[in-house]
A and B are shown apart, each in its own frame.
Chain A
Amino acid sequence: MAKPETMTINMGPQHPATHGVLRIELDLEGETIIDARPIIGYLHTGIEKNMEAKTYTQALTMTDRMDYLAPMSNNLVYVGAIEKLMEVEVPPRAEYVRVIMTELTRLASHLVWLGTHAIDIGAMSMLLYCFREREKIVQMYEFVSGVRMMSSYFRVGGLAQDIPPGFDKRVKDILGTFPAKIAEYEGLLTNNRIWRNRTIGVGTISAEAAIDAGLSGPNLRGSGVAWDIRKSNPYSYYDRFEFDIPTGKNGDVYDRYKVRLEEMRQSLRIIGQAVGGIPEGPYITTDRKIALPPKNEVLQGMEQLIHQFKIVVHGFTPPKGDVYFAIESPKGEIGCYLVSDGTKKPYRVHFRPPSFVNISALPKLVIGRMVADVIACIGSIDIVLGEIDR
């Protein structure tokens, strides 16, 4: 009998599991995995260094391109960091709209996750169903900002422009149809024998190992740790809305799937509470050193004209200092560490990407399992390569 030897195979940067350009080197003995080394960097864009060369508002457009499945989350964390540094008051109308758009973003991101995860495991029609629902949310993006994906809708102090009339009616239409769709997905997958065989017991990680590895978001909650930044350090009026934090028990792929499905339902709950009572008022802060004045005042008043000129040509300048601001993005804790030296361009911006830290825990999930489980585990961690490589 020949002794089994170790074979190293390469799941190269181009492979059909649609998660982007991720390369994994697997050491196999037969079909059992002994070691897995994820290799990243094939999409490195130098976003952090490029943002140092642009003013604060110009750099906001680059944050969309990091986690491109949840662009408004990235906008929120960057804008929130600047607002924390400058101690800016955001008006209530803007905060309500921010909550609604961020929760719609969470829905969109989880839909893409479900579609691609299911098609990797073999349920091909889920991709088409999920993209069909995502079209409704992407059309909401286009309704408020004009762009389907990279909207850059948030500004320091509020929103880029006011919501058009008919916004709450369209959101309520979405709320009316979505619960039935989520029930449809559950009916297709949750009690499906093939799905359960491929996901229960696969990719287990305990709560201590998950905290040690830095996992956050649904990956940590699937192992039983009930930590959600929206509840623990609330930002942007989340403490006014009621919602639950779903957790799992075993920390396997099936539990993470259930956690994310339940999160979609809780997002609908939050949106339902917010859209019922959007307050009237300004959509951006009235501090004219930061936000543009309304156009009709600019055309008539001298002081407003000067404010507009200074903000557009020069930009606002935060005080010196550094802050760290973190929010709960659909993938975990995303944080922005911002250093300002008192000029109109950021001195140093660093984003703490959840997918970067989550994918570093992949070896712990797959060692000892078979090759096919690697695909299920990558899908359940829910990575976005644009965020990992920045």
Chain B
Amino acid sequence: MGLEKYLPDGIILTTVEKAVNWSRKSSLWPLGFGLACCAIEMMSTFASRYDLARFGMEVMRPSPRQADLMIVAGRLSVRMAPIIRQLYDQMPNPKYVISMGACASCGGIFNNYAIVQGVDRVIPVDVYVPGCPPRPEQLIDGIMKLRAKIEKEKLKSDA
């Protein structure tokens, strides 16, 4: 914008929407919700080689009331389904869900009586990451897509 060259150094102009989205996407706090094997790959992604702290996700909150990203890593069994719904309801807005792995996205290799065929039957999902288990690079790619999605969000009041 032409206005910026009349302002002193170090001041930029932007919209509230862009600033809010930028701060939301840069400091997502994940809820540690590892269920099964994908949880180990998620822990590897948080470890030192594929460091997730560089994306602002340093703190992994154990309590849902303080987290805004739930990474459902692993197979969701029928017995666990009400609990994940309760956890999702306890998270404050704005909240995002990444479904990590084939079992969370669609039931995976287990098409039987005990596994919910896809976690999106119980909670709404933003990004699906396939794989069994997905490599850490795939999970990071899913997180980058989520950040791109957050960047395009419109500012609206959650009345």
Contact = CB atoms under 8 A, between A and B. Distances in A.
Interface of A: 12-16, 18, 20-21, 41-47, 49-50, 61-62, 65, 68-69, 112, 127-128, 131-132, 134-135, 138, 148-150, 385-386, 389
B79 interface: yes
B49 A132 contact: yes
7 contacts: A42-B80, A43-B80, A45-B112, A45-B114, A50-B112, A128-B48, A150-B132
B125 to A, nearest CB: 18
Interface string B91-111: 000000000000000000111
Contacts of A20: 34-36, 39
Given A42-B77, A61-B109, A131 B37 contact: no
A13 B62 CA distance: 12
A15 B132 contact: no
B110 A50 contact: yes
A323 to B, nearest CB: 25
A151 to B, nearest CB: 12
B40 interface: yes
Contacts of A138: 44
A65 B125 CA distance: 24
Q: Chain A at the B interface: mostly helix, strand, loop or mixed?
A: loop
Contacts of B36: 20, 43, 65, 68, 385-386
A378 to B, nearest CB: 15
Interface size class of B (residues with CB under 8 A): 20 to 34
B114 A135 contact: no
Contact of B133 (A13, A112, A150): A150
Contact of A149 (B41, B47, B49, B79): B41
B75 A135 contact: no
A21 B35 CA distance: 6
Interface in B38-94: 39-41, 43-44, 47-49, 62, 64, 74-75, 77, 79-80, 83, 87
Contact of A18 (B43, B49, B74, B75): B43
Given A12-B83, A42-B80, A112-B40, 19 more contacts: A16-B32, A16-B62, A18-B34, A21-B35, A41-B79, A42-B77, A42-B83, A43-B35, A45-B114, A45-B115, A49-B112, A68-B40, A127-B43, A131-B43, A132-B47, A135-B49, A149-B40, A150-B37, A386-B36
A301 to B, nearest CB: 34
B77 A14 contact: no
Given A132-B49, A385-B36, A14 B83 contact: yes
B82 to A, nearest CB: 10
B24 interface: no
A149 B37 contact: yes
B6 interface: no
Given A131-B47, A150-B37, A43 B87 contact: no
Contacts of A149: 37, 40-41, 133
Contacts of A112: 40
B113 A46 contact: yes
B128 interface: no
Given A14-B83, A131-B43, A44 B133 contact: no
**What 4 A-B pairs come out closest when comparing CB atoms?**
A16-B62, A131-B47, A68-B37, A46-B114
Contacts of B48: 128, 131-132
B47 to A, nearest CB: 4
Nearest to B41: A149
Contacts of A15: 62
Interface string B113-132: 11100000000000000001
A245 B144 CA distance: 48
Nearest to B134: A148
A127 B60 CA distance: 14
B124 to A, nearest CB: 19
A65 B135 CA distance: 16
A20 B37 CA distance: 10
A48 to B, nearest CB: 10
Interface in B10-45: 32-37, 39-41, 43-44
B114 A44 contact: yes
Given A18-B34, A385-B36, A44 B79 contact: yes
Nearest to B34: A18
B118 to A, nearest CB: 15
B109 A62 contact: yes
Contacts of A62: 109
B128 to A, nearest CB: 19
Contacts of B75: 43, 45
Contact of B77 (A18, A45, A61): A45
A44 B47 CA distance: 28
